[in-house]
Amino acid sequence: MGLIEKEFVKFMERFDACTFELVLNGQKYLVGEGTPEFSVTFHKIPSMTDLLTSTSIALGEAYMDGDLVIKGDLYHALNSFLGQLGKFSTDTKKLKKLIFSSNSKSNQKKEVSSHYDIGNDFYSMWLDESLSYSCGYFKTEQDTLYEAQCNKVDRILEKLLLKEGMHLCDIGCGWGFLLIRAAKKYKIRGTGITLSTEQKKKFEEKIAKEHLEDYLDVKLLDYRDLPSLGIKFDRVVSVGMVEHVGRKDYTTFMECVKNCMKPGGLFLLHFISALQEHPGDAWIKKYIFPGGVVPSLREIINIAGDMRFYTLDVESLRRHYNRTLLCWNRNYQEHRDEVVQMFDERFARMWELYLCACAATFNNGIIDLHQVLFTNDVNNDLPMNRWY
């Protein structure tokens, strides 16, 4: 075994909390103890420089390029590896521009568009018919993905205590499922904002199809421009959007929400969270969510308190997101050949890696999903009991 192989095997042996077979040039090595659960074959060994600069980029690109092949279930393998994420190397100095990108309006629009404007046809392949691109809520083992997404939205709307005629703002409204359901069920007025032209176009088509023009509108708008609308909303909701804001601007985000709310109004924030503050994974930032940062629950609660947002309720949906992602991956695999035709094999491998890796990180508790319900200052008119 040559020097390069020796260094690489030694590096991979750090991930010995799981047992797997490492294959290099036809030679097999056992990492961990016992019977291997899967095998990892490298047709080309990443350089040690790349592995130490960013283990996740080096291994992620090797998988994308087909240089790394996993024999066995991809999710299971990633679930085992990512449970040892603390053993990954990341040189934040070398990767400063990637990990700490600009929070300017123009750059954030560019970053958001790079993900959500891939194409509505692409997302339609593997999301459910509601086009909900966030965590579902599984009431039973038998719930379909669509039922779970309906459950999630209904749960949010119940928490918001909506009444006919109220004005609801959805920050990061996606393709509009939540607002459409709210308008039809509660006869509220709704305003959605997004930075994705593809999402706005699809949402507007759905508004017209459902004849909800008198109830709903959608704007291509940065959250920082919300106060300029001059509207005071009764309710505000944001699902899976604050992860794009960036740590330096969480306070600005919360200020903008407060400035566009009526006193005593309800604000529900649904977001991927973490136990501690972390700048984010380098591979995810490079290929999937440029500029994305996962907030810690405690920093959001801390900022909210400084602004007299009163915390009414906090709920974790971590395991629901794990199941949601596994559903998405099953759908994705059914359409994988179409993805390859639409893009290429490298893109297809990148997205299956993303979906399975995210499912694994939720399962391992590396990230969480929280719904937090706030009131804008004190509200003594709400039910005293937990109503949902």
Q: Which residues are identified as catalytic? A: 358
Rg (CA), the chain: 22
Alpha helices (H) in the chain, listed in sequence order: 3-12, 48-53, 55-64, 74-82, 96-99, 105-116, 120-126, 145-159, 177-186, 197-209, 250-259, 282-287, 297-306, 318-334, 336-342, 345-363
Bridge pairing between strands 368-376 and 167-171: unpaired
- Cα dist from 125 to 338, 358, 379, whole Å: 9, 19, 43
- How many whole angstroms separate alpha carbon 106 and alpha carbon 112? 10
**Residue 38, amino acid:** F
Tell me the backbone φ, ψ of residue 104, rounded to 5 degrees.
-65, 155
Polymer length of the chain: 388
CA 215 from chain centre, in angstroms, equals 28
305 touches 119 (CB < 8 A): no
- How many whole angstroms separate alpha carbon 227 and alpha carbon 369? 27
Q: Which residues pair with 372 in a beta bridge?
A: 269, 314
Closest CA to 136 of 275, 269, 313, 328: 328
- Cα dist from 249 to 91, 289, 305, 320, whole Å: 24, 17, 16, 28
